[in-house]
Amino acid sequence: MANTSPINPFETAKQQIDIVADLIGINDGLREVLKHPKRELTVNFPVRMDDGSYRVYTGYRVQYNMARGPTKGGIRYHPQVSLDEVRALAAWMTWKCAVVNIPYGGAKGGVICDPKHLTRGELERLTRRYASEIAPIIGPEMDIPAPDVYTDSQTMAWIMDSYSMLKGYSVPGVVTGKPISLGGSEGRGEATGRGCAYVIREAAKDAGVKVKGAAVAIQGFGNAGSVAGNILYDEQGAKIVAVSDSRGGIYKSDGLNPHAVEAHKQKTGSVVGFPGAKEISNDEVLEAKADILVPAALENQITKRNADRIQAKIVAEAANGPTLPEADAILFQKKVTVLPDILANAGGVTVSYFEWAQDIQGYFWGLDEVNSRLERTMMRSYSDVHKVAVEKKVHNRTAAYVLAIQRVVDAIKIRGIYP
């Protein structure tokens, strides 16, 4: 009988460490250090509901590795949040920050709840109580949370205010992804999609793909996917031929105007039904005739079942974990350039770092400066990953992990083990 138990994400994260450790010769002691979070906090706290009753919620904050600096990572609200999921996400944040060479370690947080069944008042009280419970281990020099699944800039505003009340003065640098009026950064909202578009542009040069006129398919026309599409279309002259959302997809071989598609989605709630386009499924978007594919929806979309049918020469992962390991091997054999999530969608954490830096200085940059700094960071990071891939004759995902883990290992070795 087939094993139907779900894959433990933290076991996957540890396997990735072993693969890289074998490749670059990390000793057993350092492997053990890399496989254990530095600190994890579990909190159980009461929240007063609108009807006057109390309910107890469980939340987590995991700080994975601090060798390169304070930890950084989002907070998610979801019924399926588990400690192992938070550990895995904190590990992946560690590698993501190291790939783009920003001076952070990785962290992640979560509360087991269903925000869809909570009122705004209940959400605020839950957020403020959770913030006060994790307050001893967060702060601008220690651990800087950010939005994640079902949390947003309003959630960050509540956390920033709660933390500031405990301190007795305003501390904008305690979180990123805040509203601009509280010390948020210009360009943060579109940073993930913009960073992805920059990495595509750089990779296209090595892959022999001309972005101008190239056909692009985007699975998941949400924030990251639509921004990446708009920039590829407006600034790089690409042709968007297919896009999708949770309800389905659309295809037009001679190209779609992504701004018109966005306006249609705003009006109707979906890209489906866009005039003049053929309706296709989400799976068909992945397999569409395109030069560039941007999976920007959910994880586990490209598998051994469909990897052979992917026609794109470049796959840029704007989503987290859209490609399974068995599909990586197939795409590598087909000479498809895969831009892994820890590189392709690291524009978000990069501009979060910029936001934190601006908060610390109390000096804010304009949008052009934010975007040009993001562009330089993403160009350099792609170049670093590509160099490792060529040297080690591995695909870009392994190269990104080699680069990231080596940087963390170097920091651990240089600092030494205290005492």
Q: What is the CATH number of the domain that holds 120?
A: 3.40.50.10860
- Asked if 138 and 269 sit in the same domain, the reply is no
Of the three residues 314, 335, 356, the one that is the final residue of a domain is 335
pLDDT score, position 320: 86
Task: With 0.85 as the threshold, say if the pTM is over it.
Answer: yes
Domain-embedded: residue 236: yes
- 223 backbone dihedrals φ, ψ, rounded to 5°: -60, -60
Domain-embedded: residue 407: no
Cα–Cα–Cα angle for 238, 240, 244, rounded to 5 degrees:
150
Find out whether 333 and 311 touch, Cβ atoms under 8 Å: no
Amino acid letter, 383: S
With residues binned 3-state (H G I as helix, E B as strand, rest as coil), the percentages for the chain, rounded to 5, are 50, 20, 30
Find out whether 104 and 348 touch, Cβ atoms under 8 Å: no
108 tagged catalytic = yes
Q: How many CA atoms lie within 13 A of 302 on its CB side?
A: 33
pLDDT score, position 325: 85
pLDDT score, position 3: 44
Q: Which residues of the chain have pLDDT under 70?
A: 1-6
For tokens 């639509």, the residue is 226
Separation between Cα atoms, residue 363 and residue 82, nearest integer Å: 38
The count of domains in the chain is 2
- 210 backbone dihedrals φ, ψ, rounded to 5°: -90, 115
- Asked if 167 and 226 sit in the same domain, the reply is no
Structure tokens at 20: 């890289």
Within 10 A of 134 (CB to CB), how many other CB atoms are there? Answer: 20
Residue among 96, 108, 239, 313 flagged as catalytic: 108
- Asked if 164 and 233 sit in the same domain, the reply is no
Separation between Cα atoms, residue 163 and residue 400, nearest integer Å: 35
pLDDT score, position 261: 97
pLDDT tens column, 199-232: 999 999 999 999 999 999 999 998 899 999 999 9
pLDDT score, position 2: 42
- Asked if 140 and 276 sit in the same domain, the reply is no
- Asked if 282 and 141 sit in the same domain, the reply is no
Domain-embedded: residue 219: yes
Helix (H, G, I), strand (E, B) or coil at 144: strand
- Asked if 217 and 256 sit in the same domain, the reply is yes
Q: How many CA atoms lie within 13 A of 317 on its CB side?
A: 23
Structure tokens at 59: 């939340």
- Asked if 227 and 199 sit in the same domain, the reply is yes
Q: Which residues constitute the domain of residue 250?
A: 191-335
- Asked if 235 and 141 sit in the same domain, the reply is no
Amino acid letter, 392: K
- Asked if 284 and 216 sit in the same domain, the reply is yes
Find all residues with CB under 8 Å of 218, minimum gap 6, and list them. Answer: 225, 226, 228, 229, 240, 242, 243, 244, 285, 293, 294, 296
Separation between Cα atoms, residue 118 and residue 342, nearest integer Å: 32
